[in-house]
Amino acid sequence: MLGKRINVLAVILLALAVLVTSISCEKLKVSNLQANYHFKRANSLFREGKHRNAVAEYELALKYKPDLIQAYRYIGESYKALYKPGVDSALNRELESKAIQTLTKALEIEPDNREIIYSLGDMYDKLRRFKEAEKLYLRILELDPQNMDNFYVVAEFYSRYAGEIPDAAKKAESMYLRRIEAEPENPMGYAYAANYYGNLPVSQENIEGAIENIDKANLFWEKRIALDPMNPQAWLAKGVNRWSRAYRFPGAPGAERLAIARDALQAIERARDLDPNYPEPYSWLSVLYQSVLAKLEPDKEARYNAEGAKNAEKFQELRKRIADRKKLEEELKK
């Protein structure tokens, strides 16, 4: 008799357990559905640039599903989008704090997520908090050393602090050179290094250093051209570099500046000849003739100014042709 009672009680308990589990599962399903609804709505608002509304929807999604990692991330991204670098206000400081807090929370949950690491590093970079940003950017390199683009990301980060943080310029240079060493036959590595040296700020207190950097950039453009000699953009970049060297440093000897200007002319003409429909070489030929050659050889000034005007006219003609073609293509699509 006792055995029968125990069996009946067991059946009842089992039925209750099944019922409770069923109800819990149903609640879980409802919570998931609600979380997904708010998350999708938040994503739509985020894409539309309605970041404050997106934050509210992401927070509702987390209410129903607290382990929704991407919600933390995109709350942080929303606060980042609302944050205005350089503005000192109570609201901006609050946005800064919330962006860092939510992105840090997302990273704690998923510590090897490279996108979150980059986003948090970018936020610290916006705040000019060099040490925190550097640590995160280097973490990206550590996690994905085979991705060559990561070297550029870190190099450009360091280059933004050149002249402000000791050794930042050297660290940037090291990253560009490491990228070249990893893929010496890739012409883009040399292009990035050339752009880096060519865009370093010119200090009037160190003209010799500025000239050295521009000449280094030229050497990298030449290496880039050696790997891809039929590329008009590379030839144009070299020509602009040589124009800059001749134009920006008028204190150099006239004969030296003239030789550099002729080197610029040869490179830009090469870019033009490789692609006669490429507008920019004509623009730079106009600038070179009128701003440098006409000044260095005054006996030929009239001819150089006429050449400059002719190339400027050709540049405008080609730009108009490209704009007209683009307009026609858009009309045909409609």
Residue 111 φ then ψ, to 5°: -65, -15
The token duo for 187 is 């012409």
Q: What value, to the nearest 5°, has the Cα angle with vertex 234 and ends 228 and 240?
A: 155
Note the pTM of the prediction, 2 decimals: 0.73
* Those residues with Cβ within 8 angstroms of residue 280's Cβ, 6 or more apart along the chain or in another chain: 236, 271, 315
- Structure confidence at residue 27 as a pLDDT band (50, 70, 90): very low
The token duo for 71 is 């919600």
- Structure confidence at residue 19 as a pLDDT band (50, 70, 90): very low
Whether the per-residue pLDDT at 287 is higher than 90: the answer is yes
Q: Tens digits of per-residue pLDDT, 37-66?
A: 888 888 988 899 999 998 898 888 888 888
pLDDT number for residue 72:
87
Torsional class of 5: left (φ above 0), alpha (ψ -120 to 50), beta (otherwise) = alpha
Query: 234, 225 in Cβ contact below 8 A?
Result: yes
Q: What percent of the chain has pLDDT over 70?
A: 91
- Residue 252 gets which letter from DSSP? S
- 184-210 average pLDDT score: 88
